[in-house]
Amino acid sequence: MTITTETDNRISVVWQDLEVAPAELRLDPTLICGQAFRWKCTGPNEWTCAIFGHVVDLKQTSTSVLFRSLGRLPTASESDDELRLLLCDYLQLHISLQALCEQWIKVDPEFKKLAQTQIGVRILRQPIVENLFTFIASSNNNIRRITMLVDKLCGKYGQKIETEKGAFFTFPSIQMIARDSAVEQTMKELGFGYRARYYAKTVERLVQLDDTYLENLRHASVEVAREELMKLSGVGPKVADCVLLMSLDKADAVPVDTHIWQVAQKRYVGRLTGSKSELASMPLPSDKQEQIRELAQKLSAFKSPSTKAYELAQALIVTLFSPYAGWAQGLLFSDDLVDSLDPTAAKPITKSRPISKPKPTPAKRKAEEPQTIPKQEHETAAEPTAKRTGLRPRPASSVFTKSGL
C-alpha cells in the first residue's frame, strides 16, 4: 500500500501574470466543464489544484489570468518560470482561440455569435494518466460523482500538500497505484464499483509496458493511438477520443454523444440538405462540398441516436472544422447545453393527448412502455458557480461529458 507523503510548505506569494486575455481563456467554464475534475473553486474567481508537484492557484481578472504556487512537493521545482511554462502548455496558450474562431466563421457564419457567448472555452492538455483514469470513471456517471471518486483516488494513492487553503492531493502515478497488491479491492472500497476491475487490469497492463508508451502515442496517427488506447481495460471509442483530444494532441478527435448528434441535426443537417438559400448560409470549401452534403444527407435519415448516427455526426464535424474540430466541438457542445437549460428558449410544439382516452391499468401501462435510450453518461449535475462576467449562466455539465464513455 502507498503511504502518502506530506509536506508543510505553506507559502504566501504574489500572483504572477499569464498574460492571456479573457477572450482566449476563461477559467470558468474551462476548468469545470467536464474536461478536468480536480480544480476547486477556493475564492472569488479563484481555482486551485495539486498539479505538476505544486498546489496551483489560478485567478481570473477582467484582463488576464494570474497564477501562484501555494505549496509544493520537495521534488518540484521552485522556479516560477518553470511553473509558468507547465501551465502555458496545460492551457495550450500557444493556440489562438480567436484565430480558430475566425476560421470557423468562414465555414459557418453563425459561429460569430458562438465565439461571443462561449468566449474563452479552451481545450486542456492534461497529464495522460490522470485524464485516462478520470474518464474510465465516467461510465454511467455524472460530474459530481466523478469528482468525488477522483478525489478519493488521489486521497488514497496521491501525495498530500498542506497549504494556507487546506490540504490538496496530487494525482498518483501508475507506479504509486501499483504498489497496492489489491488495487481492485481498494477501488471497490473507494466506491468505483464494477470499474474497479478496469483499473486493476489497466494498472497491470501499463506497468508491463515501457514508461514512455502513453507519451509515444502523441506521435502516432489518430487511428493507431485510438486502437492502442482501446486495448486498455475500460476504454471504449469515446473514452479514447477524450484522451486523444485532451492529452495526446489530436485536435481533430471529436468525442461524440447524444448532444453532439443533436447539435449536428439542429445546426447543420437542415441547412446542408435544405433549400438553396439555406445552403447559401454555409460557404463550404469547394473541395469538401460534396463530402459534407453527403454526410449531412446520411445523417438526416436518423431520427434517434445510434452508433452509426454518432459516427456520421463525428465525421461531419471533423470534415467541417478540421484541423481543430475537437476545439470547435467544445464550443458547439457548450452552447447546446446553455440553450437546453435556458428557460427563455423556445420549446418545441407537441401534440396534446386525447382527453377521452381511458387510462391503462398498471399492468397494461408497463407492457406498453416504449423502450427508452439509456440516460447519458455525465448527466448534468447542476452546481452553483460564481458568475461575474455578465455572460449567460452555465450548467455544471460538460463540453466533454460524453455518453458511453
Q: What amino acid positions are annotated as catalytic residues? A: 238
* Buried/exposed code over 366-377 (b: 16+ C-beta within 10 A; e: otherwise): eeeeeeeeeebb
Residue 150, C-alpha cell as written in the block: 477522483
Do 377 and 403 touch, CB atoms closer than 8 A? yes
- How many residues are given for the chain? 405
In 3D space, the residue among 374, 118, 142, 132 whose CA is nearest the CA of residue 263 turns out to be 118
In 3D space, the residue among 326, 320, 329, 313 whose CA is nearest the CA of residue 289 turns out to be 320
| Rounded Cα distance, 7 and 159, in Å | 9
| Rounded Cα distance, 42 and 391, in Å | 21
Q: Could you give the C-alpha distances from 127 to 35, 163, 201, in angstroms and in order?
A: 12, 23, 20
36 secondary structure, DSSP code: -
DSSP-derived 3-state class of residue 373: coil
339 secondary structure, DSSP code: H
